[in-house]
Amino acid sequence: MPETGRHGRAPSLEPHRVIFVRVAGFTFEFHNSEQIQACLEYFNRKLQPSSRIPMNAEHSFSHWEAQRWFERLPLYLREEPKRVKVVEALREALRQIEAGILK
């Protein structure tokens, strides 16, 4: 989940907050609430759709050259008991952001 907007700026001149969510022996790193929401939507599904990418003009890479963020996650996080814990932790992180605890 790459973040755009900060790409060309000097990181030492602009403060940037990172949100870490530790659950089930894994630490997620997020740079904004949209990334948390995308991850929550992914883990909310009990069954994941196919990970195959249709090759079209948007994707000019060969099948081994690209990985999406969710393909790099440990598979044990998709086991049902851990998946439920991940969903709860991500929802709690979003609640804390909305409450102003996390910014």
Question: Per residue in 11-67, pLDDT tens?
Answer: 666 677 899 999 999 999 999 999 999 999 999 998 877 666 655 545 555 555 566
Please name the amino acid found at residue 27. Answer: T
Q: Which residues make Cβ contacts (< 8 Å) with residue 23, sequence separation at least 6?
A: 82, 85, 86, 88, 89
How long is the chain?
103
Does this model's pTM top 0.85? My answer is no
Question: Per residue in 59-100, pLDDT tens?
Answer: 555 555 566 788 788 999 999 999 999 999 999 999 999 988
